[in-house]
Amino acid sequence: MCYSAEAWTLYSSYVDEFGADIDIREFWEVYLKRDEAYRIRKPAKFTPKIPKGMDLNFLPPKSDLERQIQDLISEWNGRKLAESEAELDAQKTRLAAAEAKLAKKETKAALNDQRIAGNKIKQMERWIADAKRTKLEPAKDNRIFPDWYVPVLISENGRKVVRPMRYHCRPAGMDPSIDWTKDGRVSGTYNARRDNLQRFWRNQFGYTHGLMLAETFYENVDDGKGGSKEIQFRPRTGETMFIACLYSHWVDPKGEEPDLWSFAAITDEPEPEVAAAGHDRTIINIKPEHVDAWLNPDPNNLDALFAIFDDKRHPYYELVKAAA
């Protein structure tokens, strides 16, 4: 699987690379959904997650709709900043109270409060600094995880279009419950296995194809101690990865839930260096010359699509870091 990636979040990059059009209204819809979810206090897992890098598409706004998006971003950042500053003050008060108790007598409760408050203060200070920062830091601001939104390149009516989609595909016609496992975790439909494309993904494979561009990807592997660790890979050549994806436009037949554009990255057997690092799948990184054929599939010629996979790029995926 591809657990996380540092993806292209600036849609101007897609315009420069492919001459793509931008579905700016769908970007507005995503930001509006996030705002509405906050206002009606939806659970966090139902609130659209948007990387900071995507916000920078609208600085400065170039149209009325972009100005509306920027207003939504400003309101969101303002609320989050106010919440973080209030929490910072609360934790500083907690820390002061714990230290006052410790000055008189050391107790486990006071030590615990001191530790938690100290960690929270550091976390809030980081969040506040990030909220105020306007300069792009790709490793932070372009990173996405399952359920996060990112621009995806597709083809519609003969033209390339960039549309924000959720990285966690909900195939059209399926119940929203498919998004979650029975124990409440995110389901695995953010990735589509090559060996399952003609079964579970048969209504997308050969019909609705997309492309996500990314610079690096992350995986979780066994740490050998009964837990897991995060590892990061990047093509040693420094080339951008053209990740083959499937997407779907889900519409609620009852008309109660909002429409959802979502996608899954396709994975194949692992490259040798990825397998050696402990992971059993690798994203399919197609060659640039196959982009048009991939985005405009012929459902009656699936062999041609598998041929694109067989001719995929094989850069050496260098292990960038391994964090416990």
pLDDT on residue 324: 42
How far is it, in rounded angstroms, from Cα 182 to Cα 84? Answer: 32
Query: What's the mean pLDDT when you consider all of the chain?
Result: 94
Alpha helices, H only, the chain: 11-18, 24-39, 52-55, 64-104, 108-132, 138-141, 272-276, 291-295, 302-310
**3-class DSSP state of 269:** coil
Q: Cβ-count burial of 156 within 10 angstroms (0-12 exposed, 13-18 middle, 19+ buried)? A: exposed
d(CA 147, CA 287): 27
Task: Give the bridge partners for 161, in sequence order.
Answer: 21, 154
Query: What does pTM read for this prediction?
Result: 0.91
**10-residue mean pLDDT series, the chain (324 residues):** 88 95 97 93 87 93 95 94 95 96 94 96 92 86 96 96 98 94 92 97 98 96 88 95 98 91 97 94 97 98 98 96 52
Residue for token digits 């970007």?
Answer: 27
Which residues have CB under 8 Å from 93's CB, separation 6+? none
Would you list the DSSP string of 83-150? Answer: HHHHHHHHHHHHHHHHHHHHHH---HHHHHHHHHHHHHHHHHHHHHHHHH--S--HHHHTEE-TTBEE
Q: What is the pLDDT of residue 135?
A: 83
**Per-residue model confidence (pLDDT) at position 191:** 97
